[in-house]
Chains A and B, each alone.
Chain A
Amino acid sequence: MELSPKEIKSKVKSAIKDDSLRKAVYNATVSTGVTRERIISEIPYWEKLRSKAHLIKKETIDNLDKYLELFEKKCIENKINVHWAVDSKEARDIILKIAKEKEVTRIVKSKSLTTEEINLNDELVNSGIETLETDLGEYIIQLKKQAPSHLIIPALHLSKEDVGKLFEEKLNIEYTSDPKKLLKVAREKLREKFLIADMSVTGANFGIAESGAFCIIENEANAHLSISLPKIHVALMGIEKMIPDIKALPYFLKLLAPSATGQKSSTYVNLVGGPSREKYNEGPEEVHIILLDNGRSKILEDQDLRETLYCIRCGACLNACPVYQEIGGHAYNWVYMGPIGITLIPQYLGEIEGKHAPYLSSLCGACYEVCPVKINLPEHILKLREKVVEKGASNIFEKTGMKIWSFAAQRTKIYRFLSWFPTKIQKLLPNGKSFPAPGYYKERILPEFDSKGFRKRFYELERSSKNEK
């Protein structure tokens, strides 16, 4: 599914009209947020964890070249095949090549945003390879031919009734909205596929440089089955997912589960350190890791904005964001959504193409408050707005308005005149009502200008209190 955040404005407009979508999104995000808060209130050193994780990420990202080289070296020692992909196409080609060489006909996938980013599924299916998502949420949206609407909960926008109808239609079962029954159906359909798949494709949450291993975190054991049963395992990982060593991992494990789902810890933490070794005789015969750049090294160049590469894709900022809560993930029309999405959109796709994204925020700061690795998202959103203006891509009326206003505000007398003026015009308006403001005005009444303004009133007050004395 090719996504383009160019359409963000129109997508937002249609999302806001979809009441059932908004209800589902609001309920899911708020309840996840509440569980998150309850869990972290039981972790007294939560703030220290955040700071520590931030520092680890900072050190790693600042020295990413060093860590990537080390990771590659150690992976090769562990008999993991390492591939480098500059962009989506290269990554897709590498995966297809592996599949073709080994005559793969069936692939099982476990949830991976990075594979969504490179639009992998379409390519595999078009090449005649049966490709099945095995995470329940991903399975649902694959059946529905949709993209994920949340980083962690891909089918968050759907109610259990929606899923019931979908299963009825696509899987030919009797309609039910009972989650347990639906889960059972999905489980039965999926289990057999694990056994017959020739290859698995997964993402990776963390690449551990010193060990030449990578980590996949999940709750459903579908990743565990994906990486154990098929003969070939291919993992796609963004280059920013690096951490220095295994000692760093517990900090992130402690932070990720509460932030993502409000769990104390995730159900499964899979560590992949190479193909099956002879003495065990289980697990895949071949393991590949593809290190994907796809714009990340460009983000790395910017000292201020590279912090956005610290993201561990927990989705906490989405749940906390009052904008996301109203519109859901599809409105962003891209693989990464919410506060982190609007900072990544213009960075990946160019400031001009993605110019509407950084404005889709009220700058309330709730995202920064919950971010487990302390990415200062509001500051980055502001920086990206600055870039839109710098590139001359902002609205011409706004630009002119800001210039005039700044010119005036530097000159007190002109400023006062300009602000006195509307109070006079206001009197000419019908019913003495306030100025109509497009958009804003629809459901809200603007206040009236104060006839005198504070300064005048203040001096009047001064005079009258002097007279009293």
Chain B
Amino acid sequence: MKVALFIPCLNEHFFAETSINMVKVLRHLNIEVEYVEDQTCCGQPAFNSGYVNEVKPLAEKYIKLFADHDYIIAPSGSCVSMVKNHYGGLDLPQNVKKTYERLKSKIYEFSEFLVDVLNLEKIDAQFQHKITFHDSCHALRELFIKDQPRKLINMIKGIQLIEMNESDSCCGFGGTFSYKYADVSIAMVARKCENIVSSEAEFCVGVDSSCLMNIDGYLKKNNPNIKTLHIADLLAKSMNL
């Protein structure tokens, strides 16, 4: 099986290590991975701020680049959802729309791919720590990813998953929202981190680097003992890759 990597901007420029860990896990499971050379950004930041005209050419570029791959995998629920759920509403040329129809059923968030497509049931992994899980909004409510990462976590020996209060409430990032209404965004992440702290977990795990960046940024200033881990990092770490 061969998959095409869709590496969102944050995972290219800030969290490259997480993306590398995703590659390592996939390879360990005997999946061939391919980097689609010309990829840039899916356009989500512009789309979420109302700049559809700026998004259209990027969507076109993306669709053409990725359409002929069997599986497209990304370490981010929100960027996958951008392509899967929001490209359809853009005013794109007819032929591009047709190609898009082919593409949209082939794109998966990483944990979703492992559980729903590969039907992974067992892994040789160990992690002797207490963790809690943050449900990212777009993964949860736009892609309905809730059980998949938890299933993966529970395959790891020694790990203790403690559900925090309100695991499904927003961390307050919201892209440009985080600086447009920074005070509100900070209040939201503070609330999220309170819940993380009271879970007494050592790590907060998630499927989106953007939420984790926001949470980690706050924890570093206020509770530096608790770390964030992307699900790809957790798997690679616990599988000794």
Q: Nearest Cβ in chain B — how far from A28, in angstroms?
A: 15
CB <8 Å contact, A364 and B137: yes
Taking a contact as CB atoms under 8 Å apart, the answer to whether A364 and B47 are in contact is no
B50 in contact with A444 (CB, 8 Å): no
Output the least CB separation between B10 and chain A (Å): 9
CB distance from B183 to the nearest CB of A (A): 4
* Chain A residues near B58 (CB-CB < 8 A): 406, 409-410
A419 contacts partner chain B, Cβ-Cβ < 8 Å = yes
Residues on the B chain within 8 Å of A172, using CB: none
Bound complex: CA A448 to CA B222 (Å)? 18
Of the four ranges (under 10, 10 to 19, 20 to 34, 35 or more), the interface on chain B belongs to 35 or more
Among A358, A364, A412, point to the contact of B40 (Cβ < 8 A).
Answer: A412
Give the interface segment out of B12-20, B93-101, B111-119: B12-20
**Residue contact A359 to B172, C-beta cutoff 8 Å:** no
Contact A409 B187 (CB under 8 A): no
Given contacts A364-B137, A458-B35, contact A16 B184 (CB under 8 A): yes
A438 CB contact (under 8 Å) in B5, B177, B179, B222:
B179
- Known contacts A419-B12, A454-B20, A458-B20; decide if A402 and B35 are in contact (CB<8 Å): no
Give the residues from 160 to 185 in chain B that come closer than 8 angstroms, CB to CB, to chain A.
168-170, 172-185
Assuming the contacts A361-B174, A363-B48, A402-B46, asked whether A16 and B183 have C-beta atoms less than 8 A apart, the reply is yes
- Cβ 8 A contact of B49, one of A327, A389, A446, A465: A389
Contact of B48 with A443 in the complex, beta carbons under 8 Å: no
Tell me if B217 and A449 are in contact (CB < 8 A). no
The answer, yes or no, to whether A79 is at the interface (CB within 8 Å) is: no
Partner of A444, one of B27, B46, B214: B214
Given known contacts A369-B141, A385-B49, A415-B40, is B13 in contact with A449 (CB within 8 Å)? yes
Encode A443-457 as 1/0 by CB contact (under 8 A) with B.
111111110111101
Q: A360 to B49, alpha carbons, bound, how many Å?
A: 11
Q: Is A326 an interface residue (CB 8 A)?
A: yes
Which of B122-130, B147-155, B188-196, B198-206 lies at the binding interface?
Answer: B188-196
Whether the pair A445, B217 counts as a contact (CB closer than 8 A) is: yes
Query: Does A322 have its Cβ within 8 Å of any Cβ on chain B?
Result: yes
Total A-B Cβ pairs within 8 A = 198
Quick one: which of B84-115 are within 8 Å of A by CB?
89
A439 within 8 A of B: yes
A386 interfacial contact with B, CB 8 Å: yes
Q: A362-B137, A415-B40, A453-B12 are in contact. Are A403 and B23 (CB under 8 A)?
A: no
Contact A447 B14 (CB under 8 A): yes
Q: Is A158 an interface residue (CB 8 A)?
A: no
Minimum CB–CB distance for A67 against chain B, Å: 29
Per-residue contact bits, chain B 52-63, to A (CB 8 Å; 1 contact, 0 not)? 101101100100
Asked whether any CB of chain A lies closer than 8 Å to the CB of B132, the reply is: no
Please provide the chain B residues from 10 to 39 with a CB less than 8 Å away from any CB of chain A in the complex. 11-17, 19-20, 23-24, 27, 35, 37-39
With an 8 A cutoff between CB atoms, is B208 at the interface?
Answer: no
Q: Considering only CB atoms, which chain B residue lies closest to A443 in the complex?
A: B186
The distance from the CB of A335 to the nearest CB of chain B, in whole angstroms, is 21
Which residues of B are found within 8 Å of A384, using beta-carbon distances?
50
A409 and B41 in contact (CB under 8 A), knowing A322-B172, A449-B13?
yes
Residues of the B chain whose Cβ atoms lie less than 8 Å from the Cβ of A458:
5, 19-20, 23, 35
Interface residues on A, range: 35 or more
CB distance from B142 to the nearest CB of A (A): 7
**Bound-state Cα–Cα, A260 to B146, Å:** 26
Q: Known contacts A362-B172, A453-B16; is A402 also within 8 Å of B54 by CB?
A: yes
Q: Which residues of B contact A382 (CB under 8 A)?
A: 47-48, 50
Which residues of chain A are within 8 angstroms of B180 by Cβ–Cβ distance? 359, 439
CA distance A228 to B227 in the complex (A): 62
* Interface contact A444-B16, CB-CB below 8 Å: no
Residues of A within 8 A of B188 (CB): 322-323, 326, 362
Q: What separation, in Å, do the CA atoms of A365 and B138 have in the docked complex?
A: 8
Q: Which of A33-63 contact B (CB under 8 A)?
A: none
Cβ–Cβ < 8 Å partners of A415 in chain B: 40-41
Q: Is B213 an interface residue (CB 8 A)?
A: yes
Q: Does B7 contact A (CB under 8 A)?
A: yes
Quick check: A385 and B35 within 8 Å, CB to CB?
no
Residue A277 is within 8 A (CB to CB) of chain B in the complex: no
For the complex, give the distance between the alpha carbons of A232 and B205 in Å: 62
A193 lies within 8 A of chain B by Cβ: no
- Max chain A CB contacts within 10 Å: which of B5, B15, B173, B180? B180
Q: Which of A387-426 contact B (CB under 8 A)?
A: 387-390, 394, 398-399, 402-403, 405-406, 408-410, 412, 415, 419, 422-423
Which of the residues A12, A406, A439, A450 comes within 8 Å of B55, measured between beta carbons? A406
> A190 an interface residue at 8 Å Cβ cutoff?
no
B169 A394 Cβ-Cβ under 8 A: no
Q: In the assembly, what is the distance between CA of A452 and CA of B20, in Å? A: 12
- Can you name the residue of chain B whose Cβ is closest to the Cβ of A460? B20
CA distance A318 to B114 in the complex (A): 36
Residue of B at shortest CB range from A439? Answer: B182
Selected A-B contacts with CB under 8 Å, 19 pairs: A26-B191, A326-B184, A358-B50, A359-B177, A359-B181, A362-B185, A363-B174, A365-B138, A379-B89, A398-B49, A405-B41, A406-B46, A406-B54, A406-B57, A410-B58, A439-B178, A445-B221, A449-B14, A458-B35
A-B complex: 8 closest residue pairs judged by Cβ atoms? A362-B174, A439-B182, A385-B50, A444-B217, A406-B54, A364-B170, A365-B141, A364-B137
What 9 new A-B contacts, CB under 8 Å, besides A443-B218, A458-B35? A12-B184, A16-B183, A322-B188, A366-B169, A389-B50, A398-B49, A419-B9, A439-B180, A442-B182
